[in-house]
Chains A and B, each alone.
Chain A
Amino acid sequence: MAVSKMVGARVKRVEDPRLITGAGTYVDDIRMVDMLYGAVVRSPIAHGRIRRIDTKAARERPGVVAVYTAKDLQFAAPLPNAWNLTGIRVTRHDPLATERVRMVGDGVAFVVAESRYGARDAADVVDVDYTELRPVSDPERALRKGAPNVWDNAPGNEAYRTEVGDRAAVDAAFASAFKTVSLRVVNQRLIPTPIETRGVVARWDRGLEQLTVWSSSQIPHLLKTNIAGVLGLPEQKVRVIVPEVGGGFGCKLNIYAEEILAARAAMLLNRPVKWIEERRESFASTIHGRGHVHYVEMALSREGKILGLRNRFIADLGAYAQVNTEAIPTLANLVLSGVYDMGAIHSELIAVYTNLPPTDAYRGAGRPEGVHAVERIIHAAAHALDMDPTEIRRRNLIAKDRFPFTAKTGVTYDSGNYEANLDLALTVSKYAELRAEQARVNAGGTHLMGIGVAIYIELSGFNPSGAGGGIGWESGTVRFEPTGKVTIYTGVSPHGQGQETTFAQIAADELGVPFEDITVLHGDTQMVQYGMGTYGSRGTAVGGAALVKAIDRVKDKAKRIAALLLEASPEDIVYDQGGLYVGGVPGRAVTVQEVAGTAYLHVDKLKNEIDPGLEATATFDPTNFTWPYGTYIAVVIIDRETGEVKLRDLFATDDVGRVISPLLVAGQVHGGIAQGVGQALFEGARFDENGQPLTGSLMDYAVPIASELPAYVLAATETPTPVNPLGAKGVGEAGTIGTTPAVANAVVDALQQFGIDEVEMPITSERIWQALRNATQTKKGGRR
């Protein structure tokens, strides 16, 4: 490899100037002659039968071109669900509800009009007559006898049940334990809330019989394949273009009804159709995240060794199976060993249908829920054993010489040096000083200080065929242009992750061309070779690895061309920082720019021995997931009288493998932390018993803003992964996964002296106040 200059350097994002100055093009910026606008008529009730839909008044409004209900539209297939888990009760998801609505926000009609305002006005006067059915809006209540059935073919609302580990071994561990602890931990529903909501523009080219769909998506190619499938079009006649995307966090890793509806309407009307999601629609009909209730227990030896972990959890799937709805909860099972060498593990997952929006991938997707359960219960264990929470963790860490390590959950960790990471975190946070300060603050009487520790692990680099049969391979193409400039085409679909920068850094070093001479393209299926998109912290770990393979191939070809030009043997050519020379004779050299020019424009020099052109494509399918980890330490200050909680400090020490772009890694960690704090202290989708949203807009759903967050302190250890040539593990979800349990543990750490061992998230001032009040009353009333 060439001398590293760009990789590891603090390079600013090349994406930023256009995004910051408003020069980026998002879906809603696309305007076309003759364009129509769509609006979805949505169910105002959570459960009911559709008796009648009267579209007459809507159709008669000025500017309305069409009003479609399910009866008016034909599809080759329902909306896709990528997973068919064993024993699952399969449900059907149509682009518009046919006979029954199953959640508030379910689409029942699609209005198309000459203007966006006209479409919205017409949607308001579509008259739908429902017979209301009793809904169920809580996953645990959904499992109770007598609960209404969301799906007739899933009586009792159970979608599936699955388990990992060894139940008998765990029972034995608990039987022999010195101490056991148990908690009920709720991982509440979250609303992804990207700044840019979803949006679609669809255009049918009658002459070419080609459909082009612009969508705010994380998965252009998979979207293309699935649009073709649902609409019954030949796939080569479908093109998907993903322009700038204003945040995804997993919620745009999906195939949504509106992408299909806009496309079908464009085909039927032979005019472009745009649909832009309103914020309230986004809250009601884009997927939600999380939605788990964990009953977690831990068995411990006198010395604090983890003998066994027992977990049973209920996952709220919501009303429909979107693309990954069913699979996401199963990921929680795969992280239950955390960074610890546990004696035995058993976990059972019960997935449940409810009359709420579908859950699916949201930053972390299954892993935050599992890690949270483990990190909360180990905190409880430390308290029960009167041990420092860092000490109990240290005693159970998997030692650095035991990798690859196969956990009791059945998964194999790639690499790690957990103790070094913990040590660095303790140093950076001045942990001992924090504990001393805590004693002083808590003696003062007015405030309570809490220190929370969490060591997270995640499986990243989604989604290798070699570990679980995934389809998460990736592609990359490197093309030298005749002038020696470089275009990179990647199958990943960055939407904030910054691979236009990261990949240019990698290519600049590997190819020895100036960083400015490289452009990274993505997101247009007609331009870029097939790829899997961006999700699951895979962009660099998998897409970057494919790029490195393609770079190696293009360099090989450059050497062969140079060999011809220099009249040497290809094996003797050295490729060094953009120059190719004959080994030992640096004077006999050409630049890679000269080689590129030759490859395209002076092909006579190739003597028909080498094909013209200088580009290469490669794909990469990793053998395993990567397993990033890190130690997070949070400090909270609680107002004893009001319960108000302030996150004062957040120390994040991550190990995400080899770091390509430190500034972007820090950015990802920062954003992740904000969302992790969001879950711990701010966010939570709430519904009443009728399935009506109580947090239907940003006036009621709280996301943290900058002024409510502390300045984070970041540190890093770097343990490369052996599963890809870059050594990078992925960082997209790290901050989210580590932060939530660290903050929750900090709150409990502050309150534990009152016998409080759990406060449900989001941890609001009122919940803390109630917990303190209940604890005081219990104390007064004696032990109950």
Chain B
Amino acid sequence: MIPVAFDYEAPATVADALKLLSRLGDRAKVVAGGHSLIPTMKLRLAQPEVLIDISRIAELRGITTDGNHLVVGALATHAQVASSDLVRRQAPLLAEVAGIIGDPQVRNRGTLGGSLAHADPAADYPAAALALDVEVVARGPRSERTIPITRFFRSLLTTALRPNELIVAVRVPKAARGQGGAYVKLANKASHYAVVGVAASVQVTRGRISAIAVGVTGAGSTPRRAGRVERALLGSPPDVAAIERASASAAEGLDLLSDIHGSAEYRAHITRVYTRRAIDAALGRTGVARAA
């Protein structure tokens, strides 16, 4: 568990970090909390020549609001997100998920930006990010752009982030009236990552589901929205049978993983069951009664 030797840079500003990134390209890896990268390096599966440690960049910290959005700095740790009054009030689903990632040590080090950029297919955050329809704010050497989360996760461990870009913040829509969210997870008993994790965010207006987003992590090679489930339920009354019917298609279109922690078949089953349970739980938090 000893990594290959590497150089270490600790820029103080985003501009300096971006300069280093542009100059070093593939030879460098950005590290924030290091809870995904460092273990991989210790196994010598990753052997970057240079680590760019962004954890000292003050402008990447902090949790603020901007109109209808919460703006969570890329360096916000899971523990900070989980305990932030602002997040708990305005995006309770995000706080809930942050609070169950890993263990206290992981939550004190791991960051929101780092988790999304790493795009581990079994990480918890992506499910919540998808269900909350967040936007990733990425800054490159010349400009800043906003990437909708639905276009962010591309394939296994690959995101829409360009090699010379850094995540600076995540914009989270504030919870609306009648909206509820929930995350349910079958944990890998060794790593405690998700074998399957489903986050659902549902809004009920005048007795009908007026908005729904379901994010699935763990089951497939990339975190995905369960689009078919969402479309089936949008506009329908929130009744148990409809949710059950819709959830049956939750695993469709997923590139299902299969390993010692769960066969593809089992992951598909759990995805369906947990989608139903996540939606049920989310509805339970909208404050709107469900029809039986």
Residues of A within 8 A of B (CB): 116-117, 120-121, 124, 278-280, 641-642, 644, 682, 686, 694-695, 697-704, 708, 764-766, 769-770
Chain B residues with CB under 8 A of A769: 266, 269
Known pairs A117-B5, A700-B190. 12 more at Cβ < 8 A? A124-B44, A642-B270, A642-B274, A686-B260, A694-B260, A695-B190, A695-B260, A699-B190, A700-B260, A702-B190, A765-B186, A766-B266
Chain A residues with CB under 8 A of B1: 278-280
Q: Say yes or no: B43 contacts A697, CB within 8 Å.
A: yes
A712 to chain B, nearest CB (A): 20
Closest to A700 in B: B190
For A116, A120, A279, A766, the residue with the greatest tally of chain B CB atoms inside 10 Å of its CB is A766
Chain A residues with CB under 8 A of B262: 766
Chain B residues with CB under 8 A of A644: 186
Supply 15 A–B pairs (Cβ within 8 Å), ascending by A. Answer: A120-B2, A278-B1, A642-B186, A642-B270, A642-B273, A644-B186, A682-B189, A686-B260, A694-B260, A695-B190, A698-B190, A699-B39, A703-B190, A764-B189, A766-B262
Q: Say yes or no: B43 contacts A121, CB within 8 Å.
A: no
Contact with A along B41-71 (1 / 0, CB 8 A): 0011000000000000000000000000000
**Interface residue? B263 (CB, 8 A):** yes
Closest to A767 in B: B266
**Interface residue? B191 (CB, 8 A):** yes
B272 to chain A, nearest CB (A): 10
Chain B residues with CB under 8 A of A124: 44
**Interface residue? B176 (CB, 8 A):** no
Chain B residues with CB under 8 A of A699: 39, 190-191
Q: Out of A116, A641, A701, which one reaches B2, CB within 8 Å? A: A116
Q: Say yes or no: A121 contacts B5, CB within 8 Å.
A: yes
| Complex-state Cα separation, A389 to B186, whole angstroms | 32
Closest to A688 in B: B260
Residues of B within 8 A of A (CB): 1-2, 4-5, 39, 43-44, 186, 188-191, 260-263, 266, 269-270, 273-274
Interface of B is mostly: loop
| Complex-state Cα separation, A729 to B190, whole angstroms | 35
B121 to chain A, nearest CB (A): 14
Q: Known interface pairs A642-B273, A769-B269. Does A278 touch B189 (Cβ–Cβ under 8 Å)?
A: no
Chain B residues with CB under 8 A of A120: 2
A58 to chain B, nearest CB (A): 15
B11 to chain A, nearest CB (A): 25
Chain B residues with CB under 8 A of A766: 262-263, 266
Chain B residues with CB under 8 A of A764: 189
B120 to chain A, nearest CB (A): 11
Chain B residues with CB under 8 A of A279: 1
B258 to chain A, nearest CB (A): 11
Q: Say yes or no: B190 contacts A117, CB within 8 Å.
A: no
A120 to chain B, nearest CB (A): 4
Chain A residues with CB under 8 A of B261: 700
| Complex-state Cα separation, A702 to B189, whole angstroms | 5
A62 to chain B, nearest CB (A): 11
For B4, B260, B261, the residue with the greatest tally of chain A CB atoms inside 10 Å of its CB is B260
Chain B residues with CB under 8 A of A702: 188-190
B245 to chain A, nearest CB (A): 16
Closest to B190 in A: A702
| Complex-state Cα separation, A543 to B39, whole angstroms | 42
Chain B residues with CB under 8 A of A701: 190
Chain A residues with CB under 8 A of B260: 686, 694-695, 700
For B188, B190, B273, the residue with the greatest tally of chain A CB atoms inside 10 Å of its CB is B190
A281 to chain B, nearest CB (A): 9
B122 to chain A, nearest CB (A): 10
| Complex-state Cα separation, A642 to B277, whole angstroms | 11
Closest to B267 in A: A766
Q: Out of B43, B188, B190, B269, which one reaches A280, CB within 8 Å? A: B43
Chain A residues with CB under 8 A of B2: 116-117, 120, 278
Chain A residues with CB under 8 A of B190: 695, 698-703
Closest to B266 in A: A766
Chain A residues with CB under 8 A of B191: 698-700
| Complex-state Cα separation, A766 to B267, whole angstroms | 9
Chain B residues with CB under 8 A of A686: 260
Chain B residues with CB under 8 A of A641: 273
| Complex-state Cα separation, A695 to B261, whole angstroms | 10
Give the 4 A-B residue pairs with the shortest CB-CB distance, closest first. Answer: A702-B189, A702-B190, A120-B2, A699-B191
| Complex-state Cα separation, A121 to B44, whole angstroms | 10
A703 to chain B, nearest CB (A): 8
| Complex-state Cα separation, A116 to B191, whole angstroms | 27
A301 to chain B, nearest CB (A): 42
| Complex-state Cα separation, A698 to B191, whole angstroms | 7
Closest to B259 in A: A694
Chain A residues with CB under 8 A of B4: 121
Closest to B39 in A: A699
